[in-house]
Amino acid sequence: MDEHCGPKRYVIRVRGVLSETLLAAFPGLRARADRGETVLAGALPDQAALHGVLAEIEALGLELLEVRRS
């Protein structure tokens, strides 16, 4: 299978524990609190979707700490 095809799993960490209202901006991603941070995890279909999530994080004024493909 071509490495560039299909969804990829990502782990995205932001500072602070997000409210349910803010978490609603990230449908399809699981969220958990971890030592004062929020970890969003899940599969994204392509890089455009990843950039969409990152743009939403920026638009909400959240501090991005880490993006990792898992």
> What kind of fold does domain 8-69 have according to CATH?
Alpha-Beta Plaits (3.30.70)
Task: Determine the 3-state secondary structure of 15 from DSSP.
Answer: strand
User: Whole-angstrom distance between the N-terminal and C-terminal Cα of the chain?
Assistant: 17
pTM of the predicted protein model = 0.89
pLDDT at position 21, please?
A: 97
Chain segment 7-17, per-residue pLDDT in tens: 999 999 999 99
pLDDT one-digit tens code per residue, 22-69: 999 999 999 999 999 999 999 999 999 999 999 999 999 999 999 999
Domain map (residue ranges) of the chain:
8-69
Residue 41: per-residue pLDDT: 98
